[in-house]
Structure 1
Amino acid sequence: MTQATIPSQTEDWLQLDRQLCFALYSTSLAMTKIYKPILGELGLTYPQYLVMLVLWETESLTVSELGARLSLDSGTLTPLLKRLEAAGLVDRLRDTEDERRVLVSLTDAGRSLRASATGIPEKMLCATQCSIEEIQFLTARLHALRSTLESARSDD
């Protein structure tokens, strides 16, 4: 930090509403609450929706690749995938070339569900009352922030 960016010692920087972490956390909770009824119509939870978004992009990938994409460990991801499999949306199969790897792929029902989900981004855009440009800016800025934080963590 340069001298110009150091907060004044007279300001209380330990106030909850001054914390970036709380702003991100509470905003995430608010977003999830908006998603809940929308995704409920599709029979999905928010984490399941994130899995489906990745699979709609790629069709098939390993559990570890999916976990890396979503920043989830296999302990969190496995029960989620089991529920999606029980719902008939995904298949999980051992890789014939390497039995340690589990491949996750969409079923026909999983592919078909995509058509029902196409209106979700527009509903969320309306809920945020942001323009598309604002959403793109916020998304890009948050991706950059995450990258910076991940780099800072790896420097420890």
Structure 2
Amino acid sequence: MEETNPSEASCDSRLGQDLAESTQRASLLIEALAERYLRHHFDLTYHQYVLLLVLSRTEPTDATSLAECLNISRAAVSKRLPALEKAGLVRVVQDPKNGRKLMLTTTPRAAQLVEQASPELENELRNVLARTRAGFDPVLMAQLMGAMVEALEESLNDAQCQ
């Protein structure tokens, strides 16, 4: 049996903790940056934008399926829908196959908004990250994040919303 150096075990444990904390912190900061940018340029919250983005990739779909893809509750989706519907960004219609089920789709206006906002938001994030002292390679970052997301989704067996 191979002995583990206590300082190596501590370092490995700290690395895992740092990775989780850094990822969480980065996620929160990216969300705050996106929130500010989207509100200023598109009069949308970040959560509204993400809902429209995911809906545009999965439509037509129902609120339960959309909630699963967003990893939020169905109630949270239902709470966001009225404002998006009133703004002319989401259509809610009865499923012709099941009258009790409501189906969600984006409107052409929402599709245009997502199409415009996505690259602008991406560019804003790249510009902010390019100012780091460590330098920033957006291609490498995208590859690393993609690999991380893929590994986490595999681990959770949650590939239905890709």
Structure-1-length-normalised TM-score: 0.76
Q: Could you tell me how far apart the structure 2 residues matched to 1:42 and 1:91 are?
A: 19
Contact 1:16 1:22 in 2 (8 A): no
Could you say which residue in structure 1 is the equivalent of 2:19? 20
Q: Which residue is equivalent to 1:154?
A: none
Letter in 2 for 1:126: N
For 2:120, the aligned partner's letter is G
1:46-83 Cα shifts (integer Å, max 9, x gaps):
11111111233345322222222222220111111222
- The percent identity for this pair of structures is 22
* Superposed displacement of residue 115, structure 1: 4.3
Give the Å deviation of 1:37: 1.9
Deviates more, 1:54-63 or 1:20-29: 54-63
Is the 2:49–2:114 Cα contact (8 Å) retained in structure 1?
no
CA shift for structure 1 position 17: 9.0
- The normalised TM-score by structure 2 is 0.74
Shift of 1:125: 1.9
> How far 1:102 moved relative to its partner?
1.7
Residues 4-44 of structure 1: CA distance to partner in whole angstroms, max 9, x if unpaired? 88864873878699343322221111111211221102111
Q: Indicate the larger mover: 118-127 or 6-15.
A: 6-15
Say what the alpha-carbon RMSD is for the aligned residues. Answer: 3.1
Equivalent residues in 2 for 1:1-156, closer than 5 Å: 8=7, 11=10, 18-40=17-39, 41-117=41-117, 118-129=119-130, 130-151=136-157
How many residues matched? 150
Q: Report the residue type matching 2:81 in the other structure.
A: L
My pick for the range that moved more, 24-33 or 141-150, is 141-150
Could you list the runs of 5+ residues in structure 2 that have no partner in the other structure?
131-135, 158-162
Question: Displacement, 1:128?
Answer: 2.3
